[in-house]
A and B are shown apart, each in its own frame.
Chain A
Amino acid sequence: MTWLLEPLAYQFMQRGLLASVIVGVLCAVMGTYVVLRGMAFLGDAMAHAILPGVAIAYLFRGDLLVGAGIAAVIVALSIGLFSREGMVKEDTAIGIMFAAALSLGVALISSMQTYAVDLSHILFGDVLGVSKTDLWLIAGLSFAILLTVALLFKPFLVISFDPVLAATLRLPAELLRNLMLVLLALTVVVSLQTVGVSLAAAMLVTPAATAYLLTRRLLPMMLVSALIGAASSVIGLYISYYFNIVSGSAIVLTATLFFLIAFGWKRLHSHSTNG
């Protein structure tokens, strides 16, 4: 038992663990939409697109999360704008915004003198550097996002499953679609601190994809996904503590292991039932 409790003697570990679990759950829940609506590319793009926001915030000594948040919302809405009415296909719009924002971010960061350390934190996360303020911000934003998802469960279900029904029921589909993009952007921002820009997409996709293999309805899929996200975060953080691995990597690799197990189980299961 001591090996379980030992890391928790440190305050930064407690905060890190709490932050990871919150982010794990949040990403996993938003990830169900990412997986079902085929937005994996978007999630990845969004994660990279927040770099310029982080860089500008850093330049002006502002809060990195706030900078990232503003950048993410701008990118999300401009993807929505470019792809509206089919002027440019959505994945093309994503590709353009993704590359432009990433380039701008790298350009800004490379113009700074002392970027090396902070850039690696942004790219791979710095879960042990979560301050009390960060934790409150992460918790608050996550709560707001999850509450929105809970309240809009039915509208989001309908616009994802059957856009034509959404139209006949007079749902404001365009507004809901943009809101979902904004929620996704904020999710990526919140996960910046724990898994970093380059691994946020994995936390969005992997637990949800695992849950998709194991469930057959949306709500159970979300709950199982959240459970896998939380478990991956806890296990990953312990692995990172004892084996001295970057926490983001350890968390994502744990989630990947869950996916492989579920995939193998599903293969065996479907083979045995199909004869």
Chain B
Amino acid sequence: MSHTPHRLEVESISIGYGDKIILRDLSFQIPHGSRVAVVGPNGAGKSTLFKALVGLLPLQSGRILIHGEPLGSHQDCVAYIPQREEVDWRFPVTVHDVVMMGRFNQMGWFSRPSARDKVLVRDSLQQMGIANLAEQPIGQLSGGQQQRAFLARALAQEPHILLMDEPFTAVDVTTQDATFHLLDHLQEQQVTALVSTHDLNLAASRFNYVLLLNHRLIAFGTPSEVFVKENLAQAFGNSLLVMENGMMLVDECCPPEVEHHHHGKAQ
């Protein structure tokens, strides 16, 4: 045991809905300020893991510790960038309103934003390159701009742990750059980031660790430790093609929505 507890410890958790278990007996420890890619086939339980980490889904067993304390003891240290479908884009809020929501806990639920709150919101908007869109309704932005608005909110939240669900799916290059820019910035501040992605190249090249999931933990470690044939075969099964020269291909061609639906039916 080191003196400083790990930022995020997951001890043999199982998560599911009713009798259906989606993630079984998951254990891992993520050290300070590391950047982790969460990888696995569609329907492997990546979103489920994130939902459990923010306390949206109850654990059937095991426990989650943040800074050595159980989930929920810290008021506002986890920020979560949801998938697009989870947000009501027709809601009457401006980009500025959305980012300010990240400050609600710190400012108190019954008080007005302080000068510091306003500065943080303005800086976050600027850093994500959407300061000029601050007064636009969130629904009128492009998909990439909307994602940057949520990134700005996460930044304004000053989290210790950041969870991002598929931030690289169907976004423009600017948004992808902005996302990595944010991740770099947060890593300097020792923020731990968990990012789920289908892009195995990004996972291998831009992250410290990879968490490979398929309803259970297949491997956790550095990209070179995790991305070996045995692990990938366990995670992706038949969609993995191993070439003679050692190159491996994973077939995840289909759009996530369609694929997700398909998997949902099959399980």
Q: Which residues of A contact B (CB under 8 A)?
A: 36, 151-152, 154-155, 157-158, 160-165, 167-170, 212, 215-218, 220-221
B56, B91, B92, B93: the one contacting A164 at CB < 8 Å is B56
B87–A154 touching, CB < 8 Å: no
Taking a contact as CB atoms under 8 Å apart, the answer to whether B91 and A36 are in contact is yes
In the complex, what distance in Å separates the CA atom of A220 from the CA atom of B92?
Answer: 9
Given A155-B109, A162-B87, decide whether A170 and B92 contact each other with a Cβ distance below 8 A: no
User: In the bound complex, what is the Cα–Cα distance between A31 and B109 (angstroms)?
Assistant: 22
Distance in angstroms from B94 CB to nearest chain A CB is 6
Tell whether B105 is near chain A: CB-to-CB under 8 Å: yes
Contact A218 B109 (CB under 8 A): no
Tell which of A158, A160, A162 touches B82, judged by Cβ atoms closer than 8 Å.
A162
Q: Does B62 contact A (CB under 8 A)?
A: no
Per-position contact with A for B53-83: 1 when CB-CB < 8 Å, else 0? 0111000000000000000100110111010
Please determine whether A218 and B93 come into contact, CB atoms closer than 8 angstroms: yes
Q: Is the interface of A mostly helix, strand, loop or mixed?
A: helix
Given A165-B80, A221-B92, is A151 in contact with B101 using a C-beta cutoff of 8 Å?
no
Cross-chain contact B91 with A160 (CB below 8 angstroms): yes
**Are A169 and B92 closer than 8 Å at their CB atoms?**
no
A157–B88 alpha-carbon span in the complex (Å):
12
Which residues of B have CB within 8 Å of A152? Answer: 109
Name the one of B87, B104, B110 contacting A169, with C-beta atoms under 8 angstroms: B104
Smallest CB-CB A-B distances: 4 pairs:
A167-B56, A216-B137, A168-B54, A161-B91
Given known A157-B101, A158-B104, A217-B94, contact A169–B76 (CB-CB < 8 A): yes
CB pair A217 B92 closer than 8 Å:
yes
Q: Looking across the interface, which residue of chain B has its beta carbon closest to that of A167?
A: B56
Contact indicator A167/B101 (Cβ below 8 Å): no
**B75 with A170: CB separation less than 8 A:** yes
Residues of B within 8 A of A165 (CB): 80, 82, 101, 153
Residues of the B chain whose Cβ atoms lie less than 8 Å from the Cβ of A151 = 110
Contact B54 A36 (CB under 8 A): no
Any A CB within 8 A of the CB of B97: yes
Whether B82 pairs with A164 at a CB distance below 8 angstroms is: yes
Q: How far is the CA of A215 from the CA of B139 in the complex (A)?
A: 13
Does B188 touch A at the CB level, under 8 Å? no
Q: How far is the CA of A220 from the CA of B79 in the complex (A)?
A: 28
A170: chain B residues at CB < 8 Å are: 55, 72, 75-76, 105
State which of A154, A155, A167, A212 has its C-beta within 8 Å of the C-beta of B92: A212
- CB–CB B109/A154 < 8 A: yes
Instruction: Find out whether the CB atom of B104 lies under 8 angstroms from the CB atom of A164.
Output: no
A168 to B105, CA, bound (A): 10
Establish whether residues A216 and B92, one from each chain, have CB atoms under 8 Å apart when the complex forms: yes
Q: List 6 A-B contacts (CB under 8 A).
A: A161-B98, A165-B80, A167-B54, A169-B105, A170-B55, A221-B92
Interface centre among A152, A168, A218 (most CB of B within 10 A): A168
A155 — which chain B residues lie within 8 A by C-beta?
A: 109
Question: Roughly how many angstroms separate A4 CA and B253 CA in the complex, as a whole number?
Answer: 70
Residues of B within 8 A of A169 (CB): 75-76, 104-105
A218 to B91, CA, bound (A): 8
| Distance, CA A234 to CA B189, complexed state (A) | 58
Asked whether B244 is an interface residue with its Cβ less than 8 Å from the other chain, the reply is: no
Q: In the complex, which residues of chain A have a beta carbon less than 8 angstroms from the beta carbon of B72?
A: 170
CA distance A163 to B56 in the complex (A): 9
> Nearest-CB distance from B233 to chain A (Å)?
33
Most A CB atoms within 10 A — which of B80, B91, B92, B153? Answer: B92
Give Cα A151–Cα B110 distance, bound, in whole angstroms: 6
**List of A residues within 8 angstroms of B51 by Cβ:** 164
Contact (A164, B54) CB under 8 Å given A170-B72, A217-B94, A218-B93: yes
